[in-house]
Amino acid sequence: MYNLLRAYINKVTFSTISDEEFSFFEEAFSIKKVKKRQFLLHEGSICRYMAFIAKGAMRQYTIDEKGIEHIVRFGIEEWWMSDRESFLSLTPSRYNIEALEDCDLLVSTNEKLTSLRNQSQLFAKLGQILDEKSYIASQKRIEMTISYSAEEKLLFLMENSPQFIHRFPQNMLASYLGLTPETFSRVRKQLLIK
């Protein structure tokens, strides 16, 4: 499982990490398995984990006053899951993180990551690259949500996250796009005809 993390680090940083440097990662991360429907984080509690998904899929969502769930993020293999705000500032989270499939995770804590950052140059670089990527992705998603029609949102999803389409149920994809399941279904049908 650790070799998945190792391969990932090499891929993202365009480097080959040494055994010595990787040993710091092995110390910082431990294995955690979560079954489908189990939670990594519950609303109201402090997020203690930064999790690398070695296998499986997860979702991060809030529940509004009307009881409706809003999915703010999906995670699949090689993605990171955490509520960074809660994780860093130790404040109660407004989010839930739930396994949508049985997951193999490599998890670490705030303290361990801080020391890892000092031990490994490559970890700092990794963090920087990931932050840039996620910033750019967030920017695009914001643009989508403020300016696209339902049909355009669906096309955006197909374009930018085709892996999600057949992996997650439509009602969740709808939630992720800010649509109702009914609208999602109708728009999808329209697009298939065209």
- Contact residues toward DNA (CB under 7 A) are 149-151, 169-171, 178-189
Cβ of residue 45: shortest distance to DNA, in angstroms? 24
Binding mask 81-100 for a second copy (x = CB under 8 A): ---xx--x------------
Q: Does 30 bind a second copy (CB under 8 A)?
A: no
- CB-based contact 80:49 (threshold 8 Å): no
- CB-based contact 9:3 (threshold 8 Å): no
- CB-based contact 20:122 (threshold 8 Å): no
Cβ of residue 11: shortest distance to a second copy, in angstroms? 17
- CB-based contact 25:127 (threshold 8 Å): no
Q: Does 135 bind a second copy (CB under 8 A)?
A: yes
Q: Does 182 bind a second copy (CB under 8 A)?
A: no
Choice from 45, 138, 163, 190 touching a second copy (CB under 8 A) = 138
| Degrees, nearest 5: CA angle 104-110-116 | 85
Which does residue 110 bind out of a second copy, DNA, none, counting CB within 5 to 8 angstroms by kind? none
One-letter amino acid at 56 equals: G
Name the one residue in this structure whose structure tokens are 């999602």.
184
Cβ of residue 163: shortest distance to a second copy, in angstroms? 19
Q: Pairing between strand 58-63 and 69-75?
A: antiparallel
Which does residue 186 bind out of DNA, a second copy, none, counting CB within 5 to 8 angstroms by kind? DNA
Q: Does 171 bind a second copy (CB under 8 A)?
A: no
- CB-based contact 53:75 (threshold 8 Å): yes
Which one-letter DSSP state was computed for residue 45?
A: S
Range in contact with a second copy (rule: CB under 8 A) among 26-34, 48-56, 130-138, 185-193: 130-138
Cβ of residue 138: shortest distance to a second copy, in angstroms? 4
Choice from 20, 67, 111, 146 touching a second copy (CB under 8 A) = 146
Supply 148's token pair: 């696209």
Which ranges constitute the DSSP H helices of 29-148?
84-89, 110-119, 121-147
Q: Does 158 bind a second copy (CB under 8 A)?
A: no
